[in-house]
Structure 1
């Protein structure tokens, strides 16, 4: 397992992550990319605990996602199954599990203050923290994707399933975008990754 982890997370995080996995009886499954999520946690029939994480994530996002999902298991175990999945109990556990990793031996210096700020009150996804998400993206392999907030107003873009939208105004936290084929309005997170269609 440690040899497998070395391919996906920073080297200094391998042993503590392996201990976290072993201590909590986690079956780790590394899967092909799912567009809608980076990972998930499930309690399987028979009481086994499965955590899945996308193989395509960069080392730092993979580590954050892995600990995020293990935090669900630990929070449910410590506080019971009636808690909210991303409620206060989960936030407390996630913060506690992440603190040992937030150091320059594991993360690059430029990410450390952003991680420290994020983990004061962690969100359901690091993607909803636009500043941290943008910083983590710098460690992704180069691709032709843009964040919606980077696109000019009125520009056309394509999402993962081929549907085409026109970017509209920002409404509080999200952008209103019109699907070209149907004329229906959809709301997008500012840091959703999309493909700009040159116009």
Structure 2
């Protein structure tokens, strides 16, 4: 397990994460990328704690996602199954589990203040924290995508599920985009990755 984890995690996080997995009897599966989520936790019919994490995540995002999912397990075990999935019990649990990893041996120095700020009140997904999300994305493998905040108004683009939009306006912190097929307007976070279509 340690050899496998060392492919996906920062070096100094491998042993403490392995200990966390053993302590909470986690059955970890590293899976192909899913567009809708980075990770998932569920208690299987056999009572096994099953956690899946996308193999495509960079090592810092992988660590945050895995600890996020272990946070669900620990919060449910401690507070019972009736708590809200990303409610105050989970936030507190995730915070406590994550704090030991927010140090310079594990994360690059420029990420530490962003992580410290995020974990004062962690959200359901670090993707909704635009500043942290963009800082983490610089460690992703290179791809041909653009962030929505980078492209000019009037640009037509495609998202992962194949739907096509045009960027039309900004509303507070998000961008208003028109879905070409339906004429409906949707809001996108600035750090959404999109594929620009030159033929439109």
Judge same fold: TM > 0.5, yes or no: yes
Cα displacement (A) at 1:135: 0.3
Q: Which residue of 2 aligns with 1:103?
A: 103
Shift >4 Å, 4+ stretches:
none
Count of aligned residue pairs for this structure pair: 199
1:13-59 deviation line (CA, Å, top 9, x unaligned): 00000010110111101000011111111111121111110000000
Please name the residue that 2:179 is paired with: 179
128-137 or 178-187, which moves further after superposition? 178-187
Q: State the match for 1:196 in structure 2.
A: 196
Contact kept in structure 1, 2:157 and 2:197, CA below 8 Å:
yes
Distance 1:169 1:184 in 2: 14
Alignment of 1:15-54 (within 5 A): 15-54=15-54
> Any unmatched runs of 5+ in structure 2?
none
How far, CA to CA, are the matches of 2:124 and 2:85 in structure 1?
8
Q: Is residue 130–residue 189 contact of structure 2 (8 Å, CA) maintained in 1?
A: no
The answer for the alignment partner of 1:135 in structure 2 is: 135
Report deviation, 1:187. 2.6
Task: Encode CA deviations 1:107-145: one digit per residue, 9 max, x unaligned.
Answer: 111111110111011010000000000000111111111
1:111 aligned counterpart, secondary structure: helix
Aligned-pair distance for 1:94? 0.4
CA distance in structure 1 between the partners assigned to 2:176 and 2:132 by the alignment: 23
TM-score, structure 1 length as denominator? 0.95
The separation in 2 between residues aligned to 1:44 and 1:174, in whole angstroms, is 38
Length-normalised TM-score, structure 2: 0.95
RMSD across aligned positions (CA): 1.3
CA shift for structure 1 position 175: 2.6
